[in-house]
Amino acid sequence: MHIKILGSGCAKCNRLEQLTREAVAELGIEASFEHVKEMDRIMAYPIMTTPALVVDEAVKVSGRMPSKDELLAWLKAG
């Protein structure tokens, strides 16, 4: 599983990465992380606001902080 956090590195973006890492650890799954901060790469995804979470190239959420339950459900589903 490849997880991308899209965002400039603001507090919300960093918090999303931290929460996602915690959810991955809780589920005991293998995942690689990438924090995409370059605006041209972020704009390649169909999002209007950051932070955004991309799992295996599928945008799961953008513009808001998901709940832990949402994160766990998305990560379980792959």
| Domains of the chain, first to last | 2-77 (3.40.30.10)
Query: Cα separation of 37 and 27, whole Å?
Result: 26
Tell me how far apart the alpha carbons of residues 22 and 28 are, in angstroms, rounded to a whole number: 10
Residue 13 catalytic? yes
Active-site residue (options: 5, 13, 16, 75)? 13
Catalytic residue among 1, 2, 10, 56: 10
* 10-38 pLDDT tens trace: 999 999 999 999 999 999 999 999 999 99
Q: Rounded to an integer, what distance in angstroms lies between the CA atom of residue 58 and that of residue 9? A: 20
Dist. CA 76–CA 42, nearest whole Å:
25
- Note if the pTM is more than 0.85: yes
| Cβ(40)–Cβ(62) below 8 Å | no
